[in-house]
Structure 1
Amino acid sequence: LVFAQAAVQREDVEEKYKWDLTRVYDSSEAWDKEYDEIVSLIPEVEAFKGKLGDSPQVLLGYHKAAERMSYLFERLYVYAGQSHHVNMADSDNNERWQKAQGLGTKISAATAWVQPEMIALGQKKITGFMEKSEDLAVYRHYYHNLFRTAAHILSEKEERILSLAGDVTAAPRNIFGQMTNADLKFGTFLDSEGNEVQMTPARYGTYMADPDRATRERAYKVYYEGYSKYVNANAAALDGSMKGDWFIAQARGFESCAQRATFSDNVEVELLENLIETVNANMDPVYRYNAIRARIMELDTLQHWDTYVPLIPDVDVEIPYEEAVEIVMNGLVPLGEDYQEALHTAFNSRWIDVYENEGKRSGAYSWGGQALGGPYMLLNYQDKLEDVSTLAHEIGHSLHTWYSMNTQPQVYADYTTFVAEVASTTNEAILLNHLLRNEKDLDKKIFLTNFYIKQIMGTVYTQVMFSEFEKTAHERLEAGEALSVKALNKIYHDLIMKHGGPKTHYGEVAGTGWGRIGHFYRNYYVYKYATSYAAATAFAKKILDEEPGALEKYLTFLESGSSDYPAELLKTAGVDLTTPGPIQDTCDLLSQLVDDLERLLAEKENRS
């Protein structure tokens, strides 16, 4: 009997597995009412124009009015985005999301005068205001950063033009999102039992782990055929996005998109370049691992669809969501009682939208903060160990937000993207160490070691490969060259072959893989996964080794939000990412894990 395994409809998902957005707005009418209130606040903020230098009280009054508007807008915007993401084909949700984005552009344009006026007042005058007002002194780091960036802040008129361009520069990313999550329909394929299965983004990962090679190949080809239907539109969208990045970089006086991206985090572009150089110099553990994989799978050459299947397939058990929650709770005990209480709150307050449904955005994220009363998490849980790790990852984001929003004033309540992946990957590292330390079964230990290796390869090596793709594509565009489908495919294919090594052979279709990476629409975001994982590796080791003060420093870091520059916050907590040490230590950890895998496999062979 051949049947189609269809995607689940949202109404068929149990309520307890859906996030509860009614805590934010209990009706669409409430959202509309707050939208109108935010619109009415814009003139109130604009009324401060030309008056910020009148007195400390006036400047403080501006901050409070702007924060009120920002607070309400964050709630409105995130709610609209999250409602849209659970059913991206719903026209009402899509309209509300577009309306929220449009309001964001209006607010940016209406406040384009603020930073130029503050800079015109001068650092000396504002410092004097802060000395006279304790409430205004809260903004000391905000102003330090403002004057640091002064050379790249334009006139009021120019800032307004850039703000008005926001909808235009965001369009390629929106096109990609709609195309891949709403319009893109994958075909079907036959599984190993002859069942016809409808491919979805979440099912792709599941079937790449299928022990039957022919099934993996069929699933892989159906998945990539889906993206190939839109490859030209996809290339045009990515070209438009990167041109938008380059437009803003040039307008603000940066020499490259990479310089603009790293400058925002107060680090040098050399950090990105050294990251790529260090990983490229440490490819040997990856090549050794792929050689082991080819030997175990009895293959001369690994195809792309051979690189995800577990080396010990019989251990790849299903893990229901409730069991995953228990595993994460137990694994993160080293983070202390207070962290455990926060985890309990997260898992029992409907923060999480657990399962995939038709029209739901693929992947996973944590989003929200003070204005929503806490973060929300989107998952597409599929009962695999990868999903347990993703749960630990996203709950790390959420509790970073939770600690920060409950400690910092609004101006510093959000952490920057440079440290955004630290808490999430620290959770993953601690969880995996817990599972490995407590596992006695040899096959399961091999399975977990292999999983740990794949995690480092995916979070560090693959993200650095993505960063090199971004850097190469951006530099090509910045030199005036075209980003055609052919050019993008070649850049990507060359990189995946370099990262695969001599035991891999990926066909031409693998070169189109850039077309499914949404992070390429966020200027140089992905390298921060690698730097964050390097920091996480260091934090996890210190905490698990019970280094005196390590846990306290880490929790203080979680509470710090954006109250200082991100690299300084990490340095205070004991990790210096401005040196190559942390990333080299992570590469060395991968090498050690490959050694461990070889030893465990040899032990298994000796027993048989």
Structure 2
Amino acid sequence: MEERIRTRQEMEEKDTWRLEDIFECDQAWEEAFQEVARKSDGMKALKGTLGKGAKAMGAALEARDILLEEFERLHAYAHMRLDQDTANGFYQGMDQRVKGLQSKVMADTAFLIPEILAVPEGTMAAWVEEESLATYRQHLEEILEEKPHVLDEARESLLAQAAEVLQGSGQTFGMLNNADLKFPPITGEDGQPTPVTHSRFLPLLQSGNREVRKAAYASVCGVYGQFRNTFASLLGNTVKKHVFTARIRNFRSAREAALSANHIPETVYDNLVATIRRNLPLLHRYLRLRKQMLGLDTLHMYDLHVPLVGDVEMEIPYGEAKGILLDALAPLGRDYNRILAQGLSDRWVDVYENRGKRSGAYSSGAYGTPPYILMNYEGNLNSLFTLAHEAGHSMHSWYSRRSQPYVYGDYSIFVAEVASTCNESLLNRHLLSKTQDQRTKLHLLNHVLEGFRNTVFRQTLFAEFEHAIHKKVEEGEGLTAELLSSLYLDLNRDYYGPEVELDDSIAVEWSRIPHFHYNHYVYQYATGYSAAAALSRQILGEGRPAVIRYLDFLAAGRSLKPIDALRKAGVDMETPEAVEAACRVFEETLLEMEALAGVRREG
């Protein structure tokens, strides 16, 4: 019999997130929705007042922050209710309504930045020294830096009103990908029909049965191939949106615009790609080891995820995973551990897959709410590392929101993956230190290498692809399914080299990557991994001084620019050194695995 996926109503309460901590019921959300709409209307009364003095500007910024804080609670509740069951029509409507309200809020507050920029520089320099603007000093300085890219009030308002329409292709991709796309079942290891879903795809690729891996790969890639023209149209429109908004704001490129939002020099992006390109022989060497250990004459894409030591027991129930994680993160101190332990027991986490639930995992919430975690926990090592990863995000949010006022209570996307990956690194070290069994250690080393392959090498491949397709649109070319597939296939040839026999279906893999709709996001996985590798080594090597620097980094939020926050923590991302150091960690791990496996290195 085909295994049945439970409905949302069949999930145990203890395994679901407690969104009642945001709004006790949907009616409370509705009442808050009306109040936010009223407050958004009220912002219009402040139009024309920001130039009257520091007190007037401070009052307007405070009113904006109150409005945005309340709106973000609405948005968090709506999107998480929808994500727990994407086929639920009521929550689809709620999510659409809040997106409409977002456009209104953006339009009703669009006058603020132009009015701030209209204040003469000398006057503003005097105002920011007054107590009424003390909280906003850093915020105002960053606004002034963006002056060449800020439009006049009328065009800012028009862009704000168009935001919902401009987001349409990404939203449609999400709905098609998560709610409507269905994959054919395959014959499982037991010879019985086995469902294929987003969350089960990776476990199926980790099967020791090669025919199961091959069938799962064909099931998923075949469906995406059938819809490749639709996905190309959606991605093409997303990229056009990025290019359009960059041009209208006087940026040279979409990439410059995306990185400018976080004050990141484009050299950081180029350094990453160049450094990883130089180190591709390390990836090829690892793939050669993988082929040798699996005893395969030919390595295919569906062979890249299967554990190299397949008979090691690594089943990890969720309750056990929580305990392992807390032990692994003990180097971060009792305060960090106490807060995380409380959150895990207070239903921060929506644990298991149910029918219609959004695939993957994430950390979410808003200022003043718990930092919730969505999981599709599968009871294996990968799920344990995913829990560690998302807990890193959530603890970063917890420290930032507790330590900073609303205006600085979030953290830059550029550093978003640092805390999550640092948690993974500490978990790696913990697990390796707890075993003397050679096969278990090989299994864990394989996991470390796979994490690096996926987080650094693969995400840099994605970054190259993303930059290339934006350049194509900027040069006036259209993004057809054929062009996208050709670009993607060529990059895969470069990255995976002669060790992997590329199946034709890899050419359409771009169609199932949601991050390509996020605008130059993926490179930050690789830079974040590199920074995290350095920070975790400092934490384990230096102890308390490094922990204090690290927790200060978590608490900084947006009160510092991300490059400066990392530099203060002990990592300088404006040089290639951090990425090179991460590649050395990969090489050291590879050497250890080669030695334990008794495989002679070629060349």
Return the TM-score normalized by structure 2: 0.98
Match of 1:308 in 2: 305
Q: Check conservation: 1:456, 1:590, Cα contact below 8 A.
A: yes
Q: Check conservation: 1:45, 1:65, Cα contact below 8 A.
A: yes
Q: Pick from 404, 423, 426 the counterpart of residue 419 of structure 2.
A: 423
Paired amino acid for 1:226: V
Q: Check conservation: 1:6, 1:197, Cα contact below 8 A.
A: no
Q: Pick from 403, 424, 427 the counterpart of residue 407 of structure 1.
A: 403
Match of 2:28 in 1: 30
Q: Cα 1:404–1:217, aligned 2, differ >3 Å: closer, same or farther?
A: same
Q: Check conservation: 1:189, 1:218, Cα contact below 8 A.
A: yes
**Secondary structure of the corresponding residue to residue 446 of structure 1:** helix
Measured against aligned partners, the alpha-carbon deviations of 1:413-447 in whole angstroms (never above 9, x if no partner) come to 00010111110000000110111122100000000
Q: Pick from 457, 461, 466 the counterpart of residue 461 of structure 1.
A: 457
Matches within 5 A, 1:548-563: 549-563=545-559
Paired amino acid for 1:15: E
Paired amino acid for 2:149: H
Match of 2:528 in 1: 532
Matched, 1:335 2:336: no
Matched, 1:363 2:326: no
Paired amino acid for 1:206: P
Q: Pick from 136, 140, 143 the counterpart of residue 137 of structure 2.
A: 140
Q: Check conservation: 2:205, 2:302, Cα contact below 8 A.
A: yes
Measured against aligned partners, the alpha-carbon deviations of 1:4-24 in whole angstroms (never above 9, x if no partner) come to 123221112111110011111
**Secondary structure of the corresponding residue to residue 24 of structure 2:** coil
Match of 1:75 in 2: 73
**Secondary structure of the corresponding residue to residue 356 of structure 1:** coil
Matches within 5 A, 1:186-585: 186-372=183-369, 374-546=370-542, 549-585=545-581
Mapped to 2, the partners of 1:546 and 1:68 lie a distance apart of 41
**Secondary structure of the corresponding residue to residue 373 of structure 2:** strand
Measured against aligned partners, the alpha-carbon deviations of 1:570-602 in whole angstroms (never above 9, x if no partner) come to 101111000110011001111111111100101
Q: Check conservation: 1:567, 1:577, Cα contact below 8 A.
A: yes
Mapped to 1, the partners of 2:148 and 2:600 lie a distance apart of 62
Q: Unaligned 5+ residue runs, structure 1?
A: none
Mapped to 2, the partners of 1:415 and 1:251 lie a distance apart of 26
**Secondary structure of the corresponding residue to residue 52 of structure 2:** coil
Q: Pick from 13, 18, 21 the counterpart of residue 20 of structure 1.
A: 18
Q: Check conservation: 1:8, 1:358, Cα contact below 8 A.
A: yes
**Secondary structure of the corresponding residue to residue 47 of structure 1:** helix
Q: Unaligned 5+ residue runs, structure 2?
A: none
Match of 2:9 in 1: 11
**Secondary structure of the corresponding residue to residue 194 of structure 2:** strand
Return the TM-score normalized by structure 1: 0.97
Q: Check conservation: 1:300, 1:503, Cα contact below 8 A.
A: no
Mapped to 1, the partners of 2:189 and 2:371 lie a distance apart of 40
Offset at residue 604 of structure 1 (A): 12
**Secondary structure of the corresponding residue to residue 131 of structure 1:** coil
Matched, 1:92 2:85: no
Paired amino acid for 1:396: G
Paired amino acid for 2:250: G
Mapped to 2, the partners of 1:513 and 1:315 lie a distance apart of 30
**Secondary structure of the corresponding residue to residue 382 of structure 1:** coil
Q: Check conservation: 1:224, 1:509, Cα contact below 8 A.
A: yes
Q: Check conservation: 1:287, 1:501, Cα contact below 8 A.
A: yes
Q: Check conservation: 2:283, 2:496, Cα contact below 8 A.
A: yes
Mapped to 1, the partners of 2:364 and 2:208 lie a distance apart of 35
Offset at residue 371 of structure 1 (A): 3.4
Bigger mean CA deviation after superposition, 232-241 or 541-550: 541-550
Paired amino acid for 1:334: P
Mapped to 1, the partners of 2:8 and 2:372 lie a distance apart of 18
Q: How many residues align?
A: 601
Q: Check conservation: 1:190, 1:215, Cα contact below 8 A.
A: yes
Q: Check conservation: 1:81, 1:97, Cα contact below 8 A.
A: yes
Offset at residue 123 of structure 1 (A): 3.1
Paired amino acid for 1:237: L
Q: Pick from 28, 32, 48 the counterpart of residue 50 of structure 1.
A: 48
Offset at residue 400 of structure 1 (A): 0.3
Q: Check conservation: 2:55, 2:132, Cα contact below 8 A.
A: no
Offset at residue 192 of structure 1 (A): 2.2
Bigger mean CA deviation after superposition, 571-580 or 262-271: 262-271
Q: Check conservation: 2:368, 2:401, Cα contact below 8 A.
A: no
Mapped to 2, the partners of 1:459 and 1:585 lie a distance apart of 15
Mapped to 2, the partners of 1:229 and 1:78 lie a distance apart of 34
Offset at residue 130 of structure 1 (A): 2.5
**Secondary structure of the corresponding residue to residue 165 of structure 1:** helix
Offset at residue 560 of structure 1 (A): 0.4
Q: Taking every aligned residue pair, what percent have the same amino acid on both sides? A: 36
Mapped to 2, the partners of 1:25 and 1:64 lie a distance apart of 23
Q: Check conservation: 2:412, 2:558, Cα contact below 8 A.
A: yes
Measured against aligned partners, the alpha-carbon deviations of 1:484-518 in whole angstroms (never above 9, x if no partner) come to 10111111112222221211012111111111111
Pairwise CA RMSD: 1.3
Q: Check conservation: 1:74, 1:371, Cα contact below 8 A.
A: no
Q: Check conservation: 1:72, 1:371, Cα contact below 8 A.
A: no
Offset at residue 548 of structure 1 (A): 6.0
**Secondary structure of the corresponding residue to residue 393 of structure 1:** helix
Mapped to 1, the partners of 2:314 and 2:276 lie a distance apart of 32
Offset at residue 547 of structure 1 (A): 5.1
Mapped to 2, the partners of 1:202 and 1:116 lie a distance apart of 45
Paired amino acid for 2:389: H
Q: Check conservation: 2:469, 2:479, Cα contact below 8 A.
A: yes
Q: Check conservation: 1:369, 1:375, Cα contact below 8 A.
A: yes
Q: Check conservation: 2:410, 2:558, Cα contact below 8 A.
A: yes
Q: Check conservation: 1:429, 1:536, Cα contact below 8 A.
A: yes
Paired amino acid for 1:230: F
Paired amino acid for 1:284: P
Offset at residue 316 of structure 1 (A): 4.5
Offset at residue 261 of structure 1 (A): 1.2
